[in-house]
Copies of this chain bind each other. A is one copy, B any other.
Amino acid sequence: MSGETASIGLFKGLEPDVAAELLRQAQRRTVRADEVLFAAGQPARTVHVLAAGAAKLVQATPKGARVIVKYVRPGEVFGSPALLDRFYPVDAVAVTDSVELRWPSELVRTFIDRHPRVALNVIQDLEERLREMEGRLRDLSNEPVEQRLARAILKLVETFGQEAPEGIEIPFAVSRQDLADLIGSTLPTVSRTLRTWETQRQIRRLRLRLVIADVEAVARVLYEDGAPETKPRRSHRRTARR
């Protein structure tokens, strides 16, 4: 259990006994893949930390499109809008069997009063997320699908990647649609791009469970770019009818 707390950012810099107390007050909840941890629009009454497993934060637009805002890894805080008594802005869904810790928001606030370090830890997580979002915004504005896809996969690899016989494996289901929602593209385009990587480059293989054989080859996509001279790209759009 202490091993578990070691990696939780929220506890960083706390006296061991203080961390233990905070942990004691947590509600522990075990969930299975695809279970919903909280839903967008609900009043946010608890602050969450993922103790084990993985989860995704998803925003569904009114018109049916989905955006995966983030994959949450163990140790990360999520649902922090609760601190301000807001509503959850996204759905949180477990992607593997997972364990989460929850604290009622008032409890966290009073805890912060006694141990402001906890607030700083929350700030750190938020800053990190903000940086990540800034990066994604930048990529979405300037990079073509192929590079965005490479980046997304590399990020998954370094966050969740596990050694496997055939390469690095992402230890939970990631569909083509998920990847598309992650990079602002579409399922067919993602499918085609992955197939290209499979055949042309010595990169490898796929099947609802992602396995990346040659991580460096994927990383190379970001630099090579096919052409000697590179330059920013911009987006196109189109309109459509249902």
Interface residues of A (CB under 8 A from B): 59, 61, 63-65, 67, 69, 80-81, 83-84, 86, 89-90, 109, 112-113, 116, 119-120, 122-124, 126-127, 129-131, 133-134, 136-138, 140-145, 181, 184-186, 225-227, 229-242
Contacts and interface: CB of A to CB of B under 8 A. Distances in A.
A233 B241 contact: no
B235 A127 contact: no
Contact of A65 (B131, B133, B142, B237): B142
Nearest to A114: B116
* Residue of A119, A230, A231 with most partner-chain B CB within 10 A: A119
Contacts of A83: 120, 123, 127
A100 B231 CA distance: 36
Given A113-B116, A123-B122, A144-B237, A90 B134 contact: yes
A126 B230 CA distance: 34
A112 B133 CA distance: 26
A136 B137 contact: yes
Contacts of A232: 61, 63-65, 240
A230 B241 CA distance: 5
A113 B119 CA distance: 10
A141 B239 contact: no
A233 B242 CA distance: 11
7 contacts: A81-B127, A90-B134, A109-B120, A119-B123, A126-B130, A137-B140, A234-B237
B237 A235 contact: yes
